[in-house]
Amino acid sequence: MTAALEIQGLRKSFGKLEVLRGIDLEVAEHEVVCLIGASGSGKSTLLRCINLLEPIDAGRVTVLGEEITARGVNVNRVRRRIGIVFQSFNLFPHMSVLRNVTLGPRKALGLSRAQAEEQATALLDRFGLAEKRDEYPDRLSGGQQQRVAIVRALAMEPALLLLDEVTSALDPELVAEVLDVIRELAAGGMTMVIATHEMGFARDVANRVCFLDAGQILEQGTPAEIFTAPREERTQQFLQRIVDAGRL
Amino acid sequence: MIILAFALFIAVLRSLPGPVFFPVRLLAIAYADFFRGIPTILLIYILGFGVPGLQLAGVPNGEFFWGTVALVLVYTAYVSEVYRAGIESVHPSQNAAGRSLGLTHGQSLRYVIVPQAVRRVIPPLLNDFIGLQKDTALVALLGLVETFRQSQIDVAGDFNFTPYLATALMFLLITIPMTRFTDWLISRDRRRRQAGGVTA
C-alpha cells in the first residue's frame, strides 16, 4: 500500500516553546488515524503543519509520494488535496451555505458555477443539508455548521482529510450527528487524521490510535492496544483521567 | 469613488505578508503617515497655488482640479486606515479556512476577508464621507465659489445670517439621508444573514 501521508522528524516551535519535538507518522491510503492526548500536546499544531497552515522548523511531510515541505512547492496546489475541518467551523459568515461549499471548487479548482453547484447540492443532499443550502451559517445549529464545514472540505475531493477536534465546540446532543458523518466517510474509505477527545469514537472508527504527549508520539497501536493495554505510564495516566471524567 | 478604490488598494498593500512585500508595505505606510499628518488646508494651498505657479507644461491649472486632488490624497489616507482596521478585525481563522481550500492569498482577501471587512467599516466610512463632504468648503480658499463662500458673499451684502443657515441645511440635506441609507444597508445585511433562507 502507498502511504497517503508520511511525516519524518517534524519539529515546530512557537517562539521558545517547542510544540512538536520530532514527529514520525505514516498513514496508509484509506486508513483512519486518531490523535489523542491532553490539550497542548500538539495535536492541532500537527494537523495545521500537515496542510502547511503553519510553517515547520524541521522535518519532511510527504503526501501521496510528493514532498510538500520541499522548497518551491506551490502550497495552494498542495492544500487543494488536503481538506481540513476546524474546531470552530470557520464557515464564511457572509456567504450562504451553497456559496461556502462552492467557493473552493470554483476559485481554486476552476469549476464552472453550474458544475460546482450541482456537486455541492449532491453533497449537501447526502449529508441531510439539502434544505439548508440557501441559509447563512449564523442561522444553523453548531452541528449543522460543522457538517457544512465537512461538506465544504469534501467538495474539494481531497485525498486526505484532517479533522481538528471537530466536536469540541458542540453541545453534547449535537456531537452524534457530526460523528455519524465521519463514520460514514471512514466506511467510504476516506483517508483521515483525526484529533479528538471523543475516546469512544476513536475506539470505534480508528484503525490506529496515536497518543501525543509533549510534542511526541509516545505510543501508537490499534484502538484495542491503546485503550485496553497501554504500555506507557503517561498513556495510562491520561486514559485514567478520561475514565475518571466519565468520558470513556 | 476614487477614494474608496484607491484606499482599499493601499490597505491591501499594507496587509501583504512576508519579507518580499516589505518595500510595498513601507510605501503604503509612508503614504498614510504623510497625508494624514499634514493639515488638509495646507495641502490644498500647496497644490492649489503651488502647482499652477510652477507653470508646468501639460499639467492642468484649474483650482477645482487641484483642490479635488488634495482632498482625494488626504481622504485616501484616512479611509485606507479605516479599511486596514476592518481587515485586521476579521479573525485569522477565516483566512486559514480560505487558504486551506487552496485559495491564494489574493483570492482569500478578495472573497473571504475584504467582503467581511468592508461590512464592518461602513459606519466609520460614512464618517469620513461626511467629513470629506464638509471639507469641500475648504477649496473656497483657492477662490472657488462653493456653497459656503456663496453664503459668505450673501451675508456680507446685507448682514443677514439666513444664508449661513441655508448652507448648513444644504449640508444636512445630503448627509442625513446618506446616514439613514447606510443604516438601512447594514440592517438589511444583518437581517439576511440571521433571518436566513430568504435570498439565494
**Per the CB < 8 Å rule, is B200 touching A96?**
yes
Same domain, B181 and B110: no
- Based on the domain organization, do B40 and B124 belong to the same domain? yes
Range of the domain at B153: 145-200
Do B125 and B32 fall within a single domain? yes
Give the one of B99, B193, B197 whose C-beta lies nearest to A53's C-beta. Answer: B99
User: What is the edge-to-edge ordering of all strands in the sheet holding A17-28?
Assistant: A17-28, A3-14, A58-63, A66-67
pLDDT recorded at residue B132: 83
B194–A107 CB contact, under 8 Å:
no
Q: Is the dihedral of CA A143, A146, A152, A154 positive or negative?
A: negative
Contacts of A91 in chain B (CB under 8 A): 97
pLDDT of residue A98 exceeding 90, the answer is yes
User: Which of B140, B160, B180 is the last residue in one of the domains?
Assistant: B140
- Tell me if residue A34 falls in helix, strand or coil: strand
| Dihedral sign of CA atoms A150, A35, A202, A207 in order | positive
Q: Which of A22, A24, A31, A23 is nearest to A4 (CA)?
A: A31
- Residue B104: what pLDDT? 92
| A104: nearest CA partner in chain B | B101
Shortest alpha-carbon distance between residue B69 and chain A (Å): 35
Tell whether the model's pLDDT for residue B1 goes beyond 70: no
> A95 to chain B: nearest residue by CA?
B193
B32 with B117, same domain: the answer is yes
Total domains in the fold of chain B:
2
Summarised one tens digit per residue, pLDDT across range A162-187 is 999 999 888 888 899 999 999 999 99
What confidence score (pLDDT) does residue B198 get? 42
CATH level 3 topology of A3-244: Rossmann fold (3.40.50)
Does the pLDDT value for residue B144 go beyond 70?
no
B101 and B12 co-located in one domain = yes
Which residue is closest to B107 within chain A, CA to CA? A107
Does A189 have pLDDT greater than 60?
yes
Instruction: Provide the CB-side half-sphere exposure for B70 (13 A, CA).
Output: 27
Least-confidence region, from A111-125, B8-22, B84-98, B146-160: B8-22
Distance (Å, whole) CA B73 – CA A13: 43
Please give the Cα distance from B193 to A18 (Å, whole number): 41
* Under 8 Å between Cβ of A51 and A84: yes
B68 CA: distance to closest CA in chain A (Å): 35
Q: Are residues B149 and B135 in the same domain?
A: no
CA distance A223 to chain B (A): 29
High-pLDDT (> 90) share of chain B, %: 14
Tell me: do B69 and B44 sit in the same domain.
yes
Assess whether B112 and B172 both reside in one domain: no
The contact set of B with A (CB < 8 A) is 93-94, 96-104, 107, 111-112, 115-116, 119, 192-197, 199-200
* Residue in B102, B107, B199 closest to A156 by CB: B102
> In this structure, are B38 and B6 located in the same domain?
yes
Q: What is the structure's pLDDT at B19?
A: 64
Q: Which residue has the cell 492526548?
A: A37
The answer to whether residue B36 scores a pLDDT higher than 80 is yes
Residues of A in contact with B192 (CB under 8 A): 136
| Average pLDDT, integer, range A210-235 | 92
Sheet containing strand A160-164, strands side by side: A82-85, A160-164, A192-195, A32-36, A208-213, A216-221
**In the predicted model, what is the mean pLDDT of chain A?**
92
Give residues with Cβ within 8 angstroms of B61, minimum separation 6: B51, B52
Q: How confident is the model at residue B145 (pLDDT cuts 50, 70, 90)?
A: low
Assess whether B62 and B121 both reside in one domain.
yes
Q: Highest mean pLDDT: which of A13-22, B1-10, B129-138?
A: A13-22
Element (H, E) at A184: helix A172-187
The per-residue pLDDT for B114 is 92
CATH of the domain at B65: 1.10.3720.10
Domain ranges of chain A: 3-244
Nearest chain A CA: its distance from B24 CA (Å): 23
Averaged pLDDT for residues A65-91: 91
CA distance B86 to chain A (A): 14
Question: Does B45 lie in the same domain as B62?
Answer: yes
Average pLDDT over residues B111-121: 91
